[in-house]
Amino acid sequence: MKTLTEYLFFQTRERREMVRITDEVADIVRRSGVREGMALVSAMHITAGVYVNDWEDGLIEDFGEWLEKLAPAGRPYRHHHTGEDNADAHLKRTIIGHQVILPITAGKLDLGPWEQVFYAEFDGQRKKRVIVKVMGE
Amino acid sequence: MKTLTEYLFFQTRERREMVRITDEVADIVRRSGVREGMALVSAMHITAGVYVNDWEDGLIEDFGEWLEKLAPAGRPYRHHHTGEDNADAHLKRTIIGHQVILPITAGKLDLGPWEQVFYAEFDGQRKKRVIVKVMGE
Amino acid sequence: MKTLTEYLFFQTRERREMVRITDEVADIVRRSGVREGMALVSAMHITAGVYVNDWEDGLIEDFGEWLEKLAPAGRPYRHHHTGEDNADAHLKRTIIGHQVILPITAGKLDLGPWEQVFYAEFDGQRKKRVIVKVMGE
């Protein structure tokens, strides 16, 4: 069995931002030497997510608006009694998901034609981390 | 370590449809010879999902209505400027999830009494694919 | 390859309850002897979930209220024609997620500073089960 663990770092310009990371993950998989296995890609901060969907700017904006409707900012959340102002970011990341497992077949990410991996930042402008753990043979 | 990778194909009659796939996945697990491990079941198209829940027709209809409320079709999504009309399908699949990991213990899917695996199609009537990747020993 | 499979049991006092299980999972990982790998933590009942987020009471209450808004109890769900009254629990667990994969690095859960694992009960007061399956080397 082979494993490889790496970390991706993010410090976004905007508070909310979707960052495509498919190529970075594919590169880690290549360096792992794993031919058959899985890669876990998981946000290590609880106001960020990782998801698989379309690399299309319009849809990415739709996602942002939709998440704002389902988990709006600026409400009197109890979490804000701690001094925080990011409860909505915790909720948004729950809807979009915080991790994905990508299959590796014949040494490559085994993704469908439109599958792209994204880091979803909902409370950025500071340093954050994603773990990529490859496991297989 | 053993691995087995197979693909399930779907071409649903309806645009939206939930298809139970527990038996198909169990069969792949059996053929893999894996006694202890995990099976990844993941939609390879970004307008479809995979989820675990109840095999009860009423609840399956409830799911459909509920997803329509949270991610309605027919809205002026930006994604539709590309000529697509399926933005809601991308959102619905995000709520329901696009993949599950099923534990394998003593050569069998280790599921609770009511756990059933479903393929969730939100933009069907065309050929789509799900990867099943078994990994273990 | 090493694997270890254990089950956590829950019988909550309240119908809805969030229970922190990070320490229990970390203990299973320790006993597995796995240095590099992954731990699957998955609810075996379809009205419960498992998620990773903040260990902060205010936010946990926010989660409860928010899930009640998105997936309210007491509606005329079709599932209730079977005699059940818990359709909302099936929906709530879908939003929060029913499983997580936790990376193991150098023999320990490789979590970010605020990541905590929770069992999310939405229809409790009876015995339920979560599988923890550790796999690695």
Find chain B residues with C-beta within 8 A of C45's C-beta: 112, 114
A45 touches chain C (CB under 8 A): yes
3 state DSSP class of A6: strand
pLDDT 10s digits, C51-78: 999 999 999 999 999 999 999 999 999 9
Amino acid at C123: D
- pTM across the whole model: 0.98
Q: What is the DSSP string of chain C?
A: -EEEEEEEEE--SSSSEEEE-HHHHHHHHHHHT-SSEEEEEEESSTTEEEEEE---HHHHHHHHHHHHHHS-SSS--GGGGGT---HHHHHHHHHH-SEEEEEEETTEE---TT-EEEEEESS-SS-EEEEEEEEE-
pLDDT score for C59: 98
pLDDT score for C111: 98
Q: Do A3 and C136 touch (CB under 8 A)?
A: yes
Please, which residues bridge with residue C4 across strands? C134
Q: Which other chains touch chain A, taking contact as 3+ CB pairs less than 8 Å apart? A: B, C
B68 touches chain C (CB under 8 A): no
The percentage of chain C sitting over the pLDDT mark of 90, rounded to a whole number, equals 100
pLDDT 10s digits, A121-130: 999 999 999 9
Chain A interface mutation, best of B40, B78, B100, B104, highest count of A Cβ atoms under 10 Å: B78
Q: Do C133 and B112 touch (CB under 8 A)?
A: no
Amino acid at B7: Y
Q: Do A46 and C97 touch (CB under 8 A)?
A: no
pLDDT score for C75: 97
Nearest to A52 by CA among B31, A60, A132, B64: A60
pLDDT 10s digits, B98-116: 999 999 999 999 999 999 9
C94 touches chain A (CB under 8 A): no
List the structure tokens of C136. 């690695």
A86 touches chain C (CB under 8 A): no
pLDDT score for B96: 98
Chain A interface mutation, best of C35, C41, C59, C105, highest count of A Cβ atoms under 10 Å: C59
Looking at the partner chain, which of A70, A71, A79 has a beta carbon nearest the beta carbon of C58? Answer: A79
Sheet of strand C108-109, all strands in order from the earlier edge strand to the far edge: C2-10, C128-136, C37-43, C99-105, C108-109
DSSP A107: T
Looking at the partner chain, which of B59, B96, B115 has a beta carbon nearest the beta carbon of C44? Answer: B115
In this prediction the ipTM stands at 0.98
pLDDT score for B16: 97
pLDDT score for B100: 98
User: Is the CB of residue B37 less than 8 Å from the CB of residue B109?
Assistant: no
- Tell me the pLDDT band of A35, cut-offs 50, 70 and 90: very high
pLDDT score for B22: 98
Q: State the Cα–Cα distance between residues C82 and C85, nearest whole angstrom.
A: 9
What is the SS3 string spanning A37-93? EEEEEEECCCCEEEEEECCCHHHHHHHHHHHHHHCCCCCCCHHHHHCCCCHHHHHHH
Domain ranges of chain B: 2-73+85-136
User: Is the CB of residue A109 less than 8 Å from the CB of residue A32?
Assistant: no
Q: Which chain C residue has its CA at the smallest distance from A93's CA?
A: C53
Q: What's the whole-number average pLDDT of chain B?
A: 98
Average of per-residue pLDDT across B11-29: 98
User: Is the CB of residue C25 less than 8 Å from the CB of residue C109?
Assistant: yes
3 state DSSP class of B132: strand
Q: Do A94 and C51 touch (CB under 8 A)?
A: yes
B36 touches chain C (CB under 8 A): yes
Buried b (16+ CB within 10 A) or exposed e, A119-128: bbbbbbeeeb
Find chain C residues with C-beta within 8 A of A42's C-beta: 101, 103
Q: Do C115 and A44 touch (CB under 8 A)?
A: yes
3 state DSSP class of B126: coil
pLDDT 10s digits, B62-85: 999 999 999 999 999 999 999 999
- Tell me the pLDDT band of B132, cut-offs 50, 70 and 90: very high
How many angstroms away from the CA of B23 is the closest CA of chain C? Answer: 17
Please, which residues bridge with residue A19 across strands? A119
pLDDT score for C92: 98
- Give C96's Cβ-side CA count (13 Å radius): 33
Q: Do A40 and C1 touch (CB under 8 A)?
A: no
Q: Do B59 and C101 touch (CB under 8 A)?
A: no
B96 touches chain C (CB under 8 A): yes
Q: What's the whole-number average pLDDT of chain C?
A: 98
Chain B interface mutation, best of C7, C80, C94, highest count of B Cβ atoms under 10 Å: C94
> What is the fold, at CATH topology level, of the domain defined by B2-73+85-136?
Jelly Rolls (2.60.120)
Looking at the partner chain, which of A1, A43, A77 has a beta carbon nearest the beta carbon of C62? Answer: A77
How many angstroms away from the CA of A66 is the closest CA of chain B? Answer: 8
Average of per-residue pLDDT across B3-12: 98
pLDDT 10s digits, A82-131: 999 999 999 999 999 999 999 999 999 999 999 999 999 999 999 999 99
Q: Which other chains touch chain C, taking contact as 3+ CB pairs less than 8 Å apart? A: A, B
